[in-house]
Chains A and B, each alone.
Chain A
Amino acid sequence: MTSVISTAISNALIVTCLAPIVCYGCRRSRCAALTHSMWIVLLVKFLTPPLLTIPVVLPWLHLSHVLTQQLLITWASGTCLMTLIFIRQIIRFRQILATRSLIDPTATRELEEIGQRLGVSKAPQLRLFDGRVSPLLWGWGLRNAIVFPRSLWERLSLQERRSLLTHELGHHIRGDHYVRMLEIVCMCVYWWHPVVWCARYRIEEAEETCCDAFVVRHEPSRTYANAIMATLDFISESPCKTVTYASQLAPASLQKRLTAVMLRSQSERLSRIGWLTLFVFCLLLLPLHPVFL
């Protein structure tokens, strides 16, 4: 147990030191695929044991036995609480989805046709939902579902619907639902570490850009951009008069995203240099295991 805790703390320390470097590097490269991969590697580092011990000596702050115990109890309590919160949310989400959404045969046929064109052997379920949400992919791989608001479905043209479904299928093909699982485990175990929350945001932002790039390889850019705007119009038709953003930079990030769509300036795949960078990063990062003085 002591070695597990020691590994967990040393992994957290390494990630803390590397996160600013990754942040700076990703900002310089401006490649969404590389950003996505690098932040995932950081999350993986949180959880992996030392693969190859290369001792790096670090000074360790000596805490009293009582304080150490209290910190560990707080850590464990936080982990249990986060786990319970997530379980509750997942159960609740499934219940609401089961009662407020339906599998529509016509919509499912549309999705299956797109899936066949993209080489997807088994497309996720498509559920038309009676609520004002953005289209989303839900699930952990066993039986994924694309949740699409019914009102939005009815107001979009066939081409616009196809572009949004291609986006969601892009997430399914890329396996982004497995990354959600990784995020959940990290958020449960390292709920106190800001890099986990930052990594989650960066990963999801990069995923959207990569899937946008995937869409514009198969569908016209303007049609897809129009579909995104129609989605924004739909979710903004709230009877609540106050405008709330998920972040203060939301309009700026939307502008960046739509510009990338129109100019097709991003790729969802890593270049050779990107793969090399990632390989070197993994090689240097994953084996590191500091030894405490």
Chain B
Amino acid sequence: MPRKASDVTDAELAVLQVLWEKGTTTVRDIVAILYPAGTPSDLATVQKLLKRLENKNCISRNRSTWPHEFQPAIQRDDLISRRLQTTANELCEGSILPLLTQLVQLKSVSAEDRAALREILDDLDKNPQKS
């Protein structure tokens, strides 16, 4: 079962950032940016990271060219958003959360409800006597 895109490690994220900046690129180009020394073990490391990212459906590989070219299959904003949510879920795992006092004890409020709340705020701002 492929791991979720939100489970990207920091090393994998570094590779993704290169791909987001460069677009389509090869292994050697990525190594040159991340590991200027470019030793054989650095090359192997990047190849391993690319393989893992491919398994997570974060990148796509073009095998019709040589060397193979890689490009991102997930947008930066989407990944960041998923990572924020994953971290939040890890932090607030479970419904019993000891020793926490939260400003807002909700996981989500629909856009319609938020718009309605904003209307109420505007109304109260203009007519504070009306409640």
Contacts and interface: CB of A to CB of B under 8 A. Distances in A.
B7 to A, nearest CB: 14
B91 A100 contact: yes
A51 interface: no
Report the contact-size class of chain B (Cβ under 8 Å from the partner).
Answer: 35 or more
B37 interface: no
Interface stretch (B40-48, B49-57, B82-90): B82-90
A237 interface: yes
Contacts of B100: 93, 136-138, 180
Given A96-B87, A132-B85, A222-B125, A238 B107 contact: yes
Interface in A197-235: 204, 207-208, 222, 225-226, 228-229, 231-233, 235
B1 interface: no
B103 A134 contact: yes
Nearest to B80: A151
Given A131-B84, A263-B131, A89 B114 contact: no
Query: DSSP class of A's interface residues: helix, strand, loop or mixed?
Result: helix
Given A89-B97, A255-B120, A239 B82 contact: yes
Contact of A262 (B108, B110, B124): B124
Interface string B78-115: 10011111111011111011111111111111110110
B118 A180 contact: no
Contacts of B78: 239
Nearest to A82: B96
A97 B97 CA distance: 14
Given A138-B99, A180-B99, A263-B131, A204 B84 contact: no
Given A187-B96, A262-B125, A130 B106 contact: no
Contact of B101 (A171, A222, A258, A263): A171
Nearest to B105: A246
Contacts of B96: 85-86, 89, 187
Report the contact-size class of chain A (Cβ under 8 Å from the partner).
Answer: 35 or more
B28 to A, nearest CB: 32
Contacts of B117: 229, 232, 251, 254-255, 258
Contacts of B104: 134, 228, 231-232, 235, 254
Contact of A133 (B83, B92, B121): B92
A204 B109 contact: no
Contacts of A236: 108-111, 114
A168 B103 contact: yes
Contact of B121 (A149, A151, A250, A258): A258
7 contacts: A93-B99, A133-B91, A139-B99, A183-B98, A232-B117, A259-B124, A262-B124
Given A89-B97, A92-B93, A235-B107, 16 more contacts: A89-B93, A92-B90, A131-B87, A134-B103, A151-B84, A168-B101, A180-B99, A184-B98, A225-B121, A233-B114, A236-B109, A237-B81, A254-B109, A258-B117, A258-B121, A262-B125
Which 6 A-B residue pairs are closest in the complex by CB-CB distance? A131-B87, A131-B88, A262-B124, A132-B84, A134-B104, A132-B88
